[in-house]
Structure 1
Amino acid sequence: MQDPNLSRRAFIGSTVIGCATLGTHSATAGVEERNAAFEFEVQRTEGEWREMLTDEEFRILREGGTEPARSHPFWESSDEGTYHCRGCDLALYDSEWKVILPMGWVFFYHSHPTAVITDIDASGPMPGGTGPAISAACRRCGSHQGHIVAINREVLHCINGTSLTFTPSTA
């Protein structure tokens, strides 16, 4: 049985896959600093982001934070529909690609084509020396979504529910 108090950082540290072809950034660089080199379609000042997001949403989407396991209802939801970026409403994931795992975050097999970009996580190497984490972000606004991880030999998107909004299927 999975420890319900396992931190996401420890979880990712035990399952992360390395990828040397993604380029590198300073381990101390935040989302905004890393994103400065890339021109996103949706750009907002820090003040504009803070106006539209709660403190917790800002911490996760703009500072690359992580929500506690099982803290967002999306992790165990089986509703049919589409998950969008909370920062710009870009459709990122469909519910048919979702995998409900006991770890307590939202997992998907893949995203919509060209919806998610990856990077080396700015927080540096994972505990235990397993290498850097691969961060997943919205390609339209650069908002941090979560990480790309390997679980039972499957590569999955491990996403913060806080980073998403949900539009149910109609019909």
Structure 2
Amino acid sequence: MMTRRNTLFSLAALPAALVGLRDLLAGSQAHAARAYEVTHTDAEWKKLLTPDQYSVLRKAGTETPYTSPLNKEKRAGIFSCAGCALPLFSSATKFESGTGWPSFWQPLDKAVVEESDTTLFMKRTEVLCRRCGGHLGHVFDDGPKPTGLRYCMNGVAMNFKAA
């Protein structure tokens, strides 16, 4: 039976529960256990990045599918981290996945690190920039040969430089 006292205690706990749910749904994770070459305070990252870049790279957000100009980029060149300019992917490994995000079958050597991601009630592999720890996207095992992998990246997390 719900008493007035139980109701008040439940309502008092609601704000904390909502914050936890918001963080879970946003996929925000702390990668404090790993040290990165490029580090900035949260305030510095906010000044260096656009709001969309900050949301994705620093808070593990996801851009809306089919909104990134990089999804349609077909020229030869290099895709680099928007946070620290580290080269991440060659256009030679880009393919059309039909997902709405730029997809690659392989990153450049020593460009990314991967971590387990259990947000959104599923197990995935998160892809981070090796140098600054920026969230780039996720990797899945449904890609083309030769690797069979699909690095599904947020276009807003990268810049492109034509060859």
TM-score calculated relative to the size of structure 2: 0.78
Paired residue secondary structure (2:67)? coil
Q: Any stretches of 5+ residues in structure 1 without a counterpart? A: 1-26, 127-131
**Greater length-normalized contact order (CA 8 Å, ≥ 6 residues apart):** 1
Q: Retained in 2: the 8 A contact 1:72–1:161?
A: yes
Paired residue secondary structure (1:162)? helix
Q: Shift of residue 101 of structure 1?
A: 2.1
Other-structure match for 2:14: none
Structure 1 residues 77 and 63: CA distance shift in structure 2, 3 A: same
Structure 1 residues 58 and 122: CA distance shift in structure 2, 3 A: farther
Greater fraction of residues in helix: 2
Q: Shift of residue 150 of structure 1?
A: 2.3
Q: Shift of residue 125 of structure 1?
A: 2.8
* In 1: Cα distance, 2:64 partner to 2:142 partner: 19
1:72 equivalent to 2:63? Answer no
1:62 equivalent to 2:78? Answer no
Other-structure match for 1:123: 119
The amino acid across from 1:162 in the alignment is V
* In 2: Cα distance, 1:49 partner to 1:164 partner: 15
Alignment deviations for residues 72-107 of structure 1 (CA, whole Å, 9 cap, x no partner): 011121111000000000000000000112211011
* In 2: Cα distance, 1:69 partner to 1:124 partner: 17
Q: Retained in 1: the 8 A contact 2:105–2:143?
A: no
- Rg (Cα) greater in structure: 2
Which residues in structure 2 correspond to 1:73-92 (within 5 Å)? 73-92=69-88
Q: Shift of residue 152 of structure 1?
A: 5.7
Q: Retained in 1: the 8 A contact 2:28–2:61?
A: no
Greater fraction of residues in strand: 1
* In 2: Cα distance, 1:37 partner to 1:144 partner: 15
Q: Retained in 2: the 8 A contact 1:124–1:133?
A: no
Q: Retained in 1: the 8 A contact 2:105–2:150?
A: yes
Alignment deviations for residues 148-167 of structure 1 (CA, whole Å, 9 cap, x no partner): 01226721100000000011
Structure 1 residues 152 and 145: CA distance shift in structure 2, 3 A: closer
Which residues in structure 2 correspond to 1:153-164 (within 5 Å)? 154-164=148-158
Structure 1 segments, 4+ long, off by >3 Å, are 27-31
TM-score calculated relative to the size of structure 1: 0.74
Q: Any stretches of 5+ residues in structure 2 without a counterpart? A: 1-22
Structure 1 residues 72 and 152: CA distance shift in structure 2, 3 A: closer
Q: Shift of residue 55 of structure 1?
A: 1.3
